[in-house]
C-alpha cells in the first residue's frame, strides 16, 4: 500500500483528494492536515465523507508528514510550497504540488505573475510538469511533480496537437474559458457569494490571469519555439466544471479529416482524453465528477478558423484527479486506478 498524506486538506481540492485517495485500492491515507481545523474529523467539514474517511485533521508539518508517507499532496496557496519543500523532504517522499509554485520553469516569470519571490528556485529543474498526456515518461521517475492548473489542463490538451504539428499560427490563438465557482476555492469572498454569482456571468483576470504563462510555457515546448496567445477566463454560476473554446488560424491546407486523425493519434494512449465524434461538442455535465477531458473540433468554412472546445471537471482532471493520476504513474500503477468512476447524470 502507498502511504499518503495531504497538506492543506480543508479546501475543495483537498476534500476531493480525501475522497479519491480513501477509495483508492492501493492507497492508505495516513494524514490530512489543516492548521485551522486540527482535531476536527473530516466528515464534520465535508458531510459527504461520512463513512468514507473518518480521519481527523492534524497540524503536522510538511517535514513530519514527509517522514511518514511515500507521497504527499500539497494543496496550499502559492508562495507556501516553495518555502516548505527542501532537498531533505524530496529524499523522504514524492511530492505532488497542486499549487503554482513549481509549474513555471523560470522563477522570474513566476515572480512577475504571482508577485512574490520563489522560495526554492534551485528545485525548479527537478520539477516535472504533471500533465500525463505530455510528460508521462518524466513523471514516472520524478520526486517533485507540479500538478497543472485547471484552466491550463483544458487549454493545453485542446491545443497541443495543433502546436506540435505547427498546424496553426500561434499569435492567432484566442482561448475563451469558463469555470464554475469552486475553481476560486473555498475561502469566503464577496464576489463568490450566491447573490453575486447567481444569474451572473463575468470575465475576470482579463489580460492578466496567472495561468497564461503556464499555458504558453507548455505550448511553446510543443511548438518548438516561444509562443504568445490570448487567454480570457470567465466565472459561470455553476459549482464545478471548465469549458474552453479556442480559435486559431491554420497555417496550411490540412483537411478536417487530417486534423481529426492527428488528434486521435496524439491521444491514442491517453485514457482520459476523449475526442468526440464530428459535430459533437463537449458539455461540462458530461465530465462532472470524472477525470475525463472531452474535446470537439470544427472549422469555420467562412473564416477557415479552427475551433476547439474542451471540457473538464476543474476539481478532478483539473486538480485532484490529475494528482492521483500522476501518483499512479509515479508508483507504477495503471494510470486509471481509482479514477474510473463515471459522471453522475443528471447533475
Encode pLDDT of 127-186 as tens digits. 999 999 999 999 999 999 999 999 999 999 999 999 999 999 999 999 999 999 988 777
Confidence of residue 303 (pLDDT cuts 50, 70, 90): very high
Q: How far apart are CA 291 and CA 138, in angstroms?
A: 21
Return the number of other C-beta atoms located less than 10 Å from residue 276's C-beta.
Answer: 18
In the block, which residue shows the cell 477557415?
304
Confidence of residue 194 (pLDDT cuts 50, 70, 90): confident
Instruction: Establish how many alpha carbons lie within 13 A of residue 8's alpha carbon, considering only the half-sphere containing its beta carbon.
Output: 21
What was the pLDDT predicted at 175?
A: 98
Q: Beta strand pairing status for 273-275 and 293-299?
A: parallel
Confidence of residue 341 (pLDDT cuts 50, 70, 90): confident
* CATH architecture under which domain 2-126 falls: 3-Layer(aba) Sandwich (3.40)
Helical pair 132-139 and 321-330, crossing angle rounded to 10 deg: 30
Mean pLDDT of 323-337: 98
Q: How far apart are CA 314 and CA 292, in angstroms?
A: 10
pLDDT at 192 over 80: no
What was the pLDDT predicted at 184?
A: 74
What was the pLDDT predicted at 186?
A: 72
Q: Where are the domains of the chain?
A: 2-126, 151-314
pLDDT at 248 over 80: yes
Catalytic residue check, 69: no
Confidence of residue 321 (pLDDT cuts 50, 70, 90): very high
Length, in residues, of the chain: 347
Question: What does the angle CA 319 – CA 325 – CA 329 come to, to the nearest 5 degrees?
Answer: 145
What's the whole-number average pLDDT of the chain? 95
Catalytic residue (one of 150, 195, 197, 293): 150
Confidence of residue 344 (pLDDT cuts 50, 70, 90): confident
**CA 36 to centroid of chain Cα atoms:** 25
pLDDT at 29 over 80: yes
Q: How far apart are CA 291 and CA 315, in angstroms?
A: 9
pLDDT at 82 over 90: yes
pLDDT at 208 over 90: yes
pLDDT at 193 over 90: no
Please, are residues 5 and 73 in contact by the beta-carbon 8 Å criterion? yes
What was the pLDDT predicted at 183?
A: 82
Mean pLDDT of 108-119: 96
Full strand arrangement of the beta sheet holding 57-58: 57-58, 27-33, 2-7, 71-74, 94-97, 144-146, 128-129
What the block records as the C-alpha cell of 97 is 504540488
Range 151-314 has CATH code 3.40.50.2000: no
Q: How far apart are CA 103 and CA 145, in angstroms?
A: 9
pLDDT at 279 over 90: yes
Residue 266: closest CA among 297, 242, 291: 297
Amino acid at each position: 500500500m502507498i502511504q499518503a498524506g495531504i497538506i492543506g486538506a480543508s479546501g475543495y481540492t483537498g476534500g476531493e483528494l480525501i475522497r479519491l485517495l480513501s477509495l483508492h485500492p492501493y492507497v492508505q491515507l495516513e494524514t490530512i492536515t489543516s492548521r485551522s481545523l486540527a482535531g476536527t474529523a473530516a466528515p464534520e467539514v465535508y458531510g459527504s465523507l461520512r463513512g468514507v474517511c473518518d480521519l481527523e485533521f492534524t497540524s503536522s508539518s510538511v517535514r513530519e508528514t514527509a517522514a511518514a508517507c511515500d507521497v504527499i499532496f500539497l494543496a496550499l496557496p502559492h508562495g507556501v510550497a516553495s518555502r516548505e519543500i527542501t532537498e531533505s523532504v524530496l529524499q523522504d517522499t514524492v511530492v505532488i504540488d497542486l499549487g503554482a509554485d513549481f509549474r513555471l520553469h523560470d522563477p522570474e516569470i513566476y515572480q512577475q505573475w504571482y508577485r512574490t519571490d520563489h522560495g526554492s528556485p534551485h528545485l525548479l529543474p527537478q520539477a516535472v510538469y504533471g500533465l500525463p498526456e505530455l510528460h508521462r515518461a518524466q513523471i514516472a521517475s520524478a520526486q517533485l511533480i507540479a500538478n497543472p492548473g485547471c484552466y491550463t489542463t483544458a487549454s493545453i490538451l485542446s491545443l497541443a496537437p495543433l502546436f506540435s504539428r505547427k498546424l496553426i499560427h500561434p499569435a492567432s490563438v484566442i482561448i475563451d474559458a469558463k469555470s464554475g465557482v469552486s475553481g476560486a476555492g473555498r475561502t469566503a469572498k464577496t464576489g463568490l457569494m450566491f447573490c453575486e454569482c447567481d444569474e451572473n456571468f463575468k470575465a475576470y483576470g482579463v489580460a492578466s490571469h496567472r495561468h497564461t504563462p503556464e499555458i504558453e510555457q507548455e505550448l511553446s515546448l510543443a511548438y518548438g519555439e516561444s509562443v504568445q496567445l490570448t487567454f480570457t477566463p470567465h466565472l459561470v454560476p455553476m459549482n464545478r466544471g471548465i469549458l474552453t473554446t479556442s480559435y486559431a488560424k491554420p497555417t496550411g491546407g490540412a483537411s478536417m479529416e487530417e486534423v481529426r486523425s492527428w488528434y486521435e493519434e496524439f491521444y491514442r494512449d491517453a485514457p482520459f482524453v476523449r475526442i468526440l465524434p464530428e459535430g459533437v461538442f463537449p458539455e461540462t455535465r458530461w465530465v462532472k465528477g470524472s477525470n475525463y477531458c472531452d474535446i470537439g473540433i470544427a472549422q469555420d468554412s467562412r473564416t477557415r478558423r479552427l475551433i476547439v472546445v474542451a471540457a473538464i471537471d476543474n476539481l478532478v482532471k483539473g486538480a485532484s484527479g490529475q494528482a492521483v493520476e500522476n501518483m499512479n504513474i509515479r508508483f507504477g500503477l495503471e494510470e486509471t486506478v481509482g479514477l474510473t468512476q463515471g459522471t453522475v447524470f443528471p447533475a
